[in-house]
């Protein structure tokens, strides 16, 4: 098949690499620098398998990066993967969707020979596919030539290609059978698991399914964090054991019960907010999701309180934050809990050093202020530090171990926001505290 991907972001690049294993892919973006970069096989995103996959496919002509000024030619499927950021007033900003749809429809004679399907993959409020795409296609009397599908993406950053190649399900919100079958065929040729379920539903159900999936996962995390607060007040209780027991019920599953610093990233916070807003505009209250947000927003403050309890006044003291990426395996800092922790610590007068093996000061320049430094040199960040909070569970911290990690600190206080060392023996002169278990008495200091 000939597949046009519109938008060379995280999802667009990943889908291009995936589809290029069986299809001829054209990757369109308005960002000249990005297209130039991809043309020489460089990837703008850090993802396992993507750098090599992109380089190979571009070299072999299986992915053709183009700008809107280039000729594109006929396609069987056009997949819109542009961003839908949150605008400052909390609304979902659909301007990139609108402009992608306008570009496609204005060039439909160039892009569509007898029949093609336009797939909207970007996360959007329910009803967007109909109001932005289906209605326009009808108005332009293109319905006999253009099929329409809303097809959400469930990939995670850090394992994007693996997730996209092996999804639990493919949700296809199609307007008719022909559109559904064309998109199903496109996937069948590239997916590793031949028994992947293809779920057929309306575009509106598929749009809501994406919001609901992310909201549910985020709710699991907040639920676990709420139970962790209770576990901390119960001697001998441990949140990991509690949730291991809860998750062993096959109706629940133990995934996404990891408690600690809370969730961040480009999806969970934005999608919950998008769904809450969508519902509240219809006078539907979402107390579960509001509480999910509230529990999550309290996590950074909780870790700071744990630290202050041990180190006292932070004014003028060097404090280290371990990890800035919103999770390991990526350099993405969007909605990272570390950024909130940085604000809280600076407000208390601390001198904050942030260590991250991947995020550079360039990625984070707008967040850096006086008394905030980022470095990939772990020893430099830890030396003479009065206390440290582990926020992102980069494997390097576990590999180095608690003893070596805290060795150069002036006061060996480590607050573990990801329970990395929760099951390890604490060296005698290290004060270690994590979430979901009662703080130990002074013997561990």
Q: Which is nearer to ligand UDX, 169 or 369 (CB)?
A: 169
Q: Supply angle C-alpha 200, 160, 127, rounded to 5.
A: 40
Closer residue to ligand UDX in complex, CB, 203/262: 262
Catalytic residue among 112, 209, 267, 388: 267
Residue with Cβ nearer ligand UDX (154 or 408): 154
Give the span between the Cα atoms of 363 and 375, in whole angstroms: 12
Q: CA 404 to CA 367: how far, in whole Å? A: 29
When the beta carbons of 134 and 322 are compared against ligand UDX, the nearer one is 322
Q: Min. distance of Cβ 260 from ligand UDX in angstroms?
A: 6
- Please indicate whether residue 381 is annotated as part of the active site: no
What's the closest the beta carbon of residue 343 comes to ligand UDX, in angstroms?
A: 17
Closer CB to ligand UDX, residue 210 or residue 317? Answer: 210
What's the min distance (Å) between Cβ of 159 and ligand UDX?
Answer: 8
287-311 helix and 268-280 helix, angle to the nearest 10 degrees: 140
Residues engaged in binding ligand UDX (CB under 6 A) = 153-157, 214, 217, 221, 256-258, 260, 262-265, 267-268, 326-327
Distance CA 20, CA 54 (A): 9
Cβ-in-10-Å burial (0-12, 13-18, 19+) of 93 comes to: middle
CB of 338 to ligand UDX, least distance (A): 10
371's tokens: 């008394």
Q: How far is the CB of 392 from ligand UDX (least distance, A)?
A: 7
**Shortest distance in whole angstroms from residue 360 CB to ligand UDX:** 20
Least spacing, CB of residue 262 vs ligand UDX, in Å: 6
14 versus 385: smaller Cβ distance to ligand UDX = 14
* Closest to ligand UDX by CB, 156 or 407: 156
The catalytic residues are 267
């Amino acid at each position: 098949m000939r597949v046009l991907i519109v938008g060379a972001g995280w999802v667009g690049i990943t889908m291009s690499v995936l589809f290029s294993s069986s299809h001829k892919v054209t990757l369109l973006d308005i960002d000249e620098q990005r297209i130039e970069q991809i043309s020489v096989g460089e990837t703008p995103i850090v993802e396992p398998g993507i750098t090599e996959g992109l380089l190979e496919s571009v070299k072999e002509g299986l992915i053709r990066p183009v700008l809107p000024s280039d000729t594109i030619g006929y396609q069987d499927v056009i997949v819109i993967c542009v961003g839908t950021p949150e605008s400052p007033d909390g609304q979902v900003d659909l301007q990139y969707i609108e402009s992608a749809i306008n570009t496609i429809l204005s060039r439909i004679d160039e892009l569509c020979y007898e029949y093609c399907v336009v797939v909207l993959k970007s996360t959007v409020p329910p009803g967007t596919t109909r109001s932005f795409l289906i209605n326009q296609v009808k108005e332009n009397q293109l319905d006999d030539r253009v099929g329409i599908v809303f097809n959400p993406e469930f990939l995670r950053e850090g394992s994007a290609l693996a997730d996209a190649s092996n999804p639990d399900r493919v949700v296809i919100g199609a307007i008719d059978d022909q559109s559904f079958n064309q998109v199903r065929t496109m996937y069948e040729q590239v997916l590793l698991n031949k028994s992947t379920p293809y779920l057929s539903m309306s575009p509106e159900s598929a749009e809501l399914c994406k919001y609901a999936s992310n909201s549910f996962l985020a709710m699991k995390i907040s639920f676990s964090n709420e139970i962790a607060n209770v576990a901390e007040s119960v001697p001998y209780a441990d949140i990991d054991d509690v949730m291991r027991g809860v998750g062993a019920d096959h109706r629940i599953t133990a995934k996404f019960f990891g408690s600690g610093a809370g969730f961040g990233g480009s999806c969970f916070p934005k999608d919950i907010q998008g769904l809450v807003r969508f519902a509240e505009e219809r006078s539907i209250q979402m107390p579960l999701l509001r509480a999910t947000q509230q529990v999550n927003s309290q996590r950074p403050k909780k870790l700071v309180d744990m630290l202050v309890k041990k180190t006292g006044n932070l004014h003028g003291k060097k404090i280290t934050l371990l990890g800035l990426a919103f999770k390991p395996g990526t350099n993405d800092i969007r909605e990272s809990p570390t950024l909130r922790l940085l604000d809280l610590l600076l407000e208390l007068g601390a001198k904050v050093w942030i260590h991250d093996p991947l995020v550079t000061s360039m990625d984070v320049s707008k967040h850096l202020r006086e008394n905030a430094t980022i470095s990939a040199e772990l020893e430099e960040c830890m030396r003479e530090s009065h206390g440290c909070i582990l926020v992102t569970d980069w494997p390097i911290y576990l590999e180095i171990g608690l003893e070596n990690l805290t060795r150069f600190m002036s006061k060996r206080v480590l607050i573990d926001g990801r329970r990395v060392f929760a099951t390890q023996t604490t060296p005698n002169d290290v004060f270690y505290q994590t979430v979901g278990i009662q703080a130990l008495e002074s013997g561990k200091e």
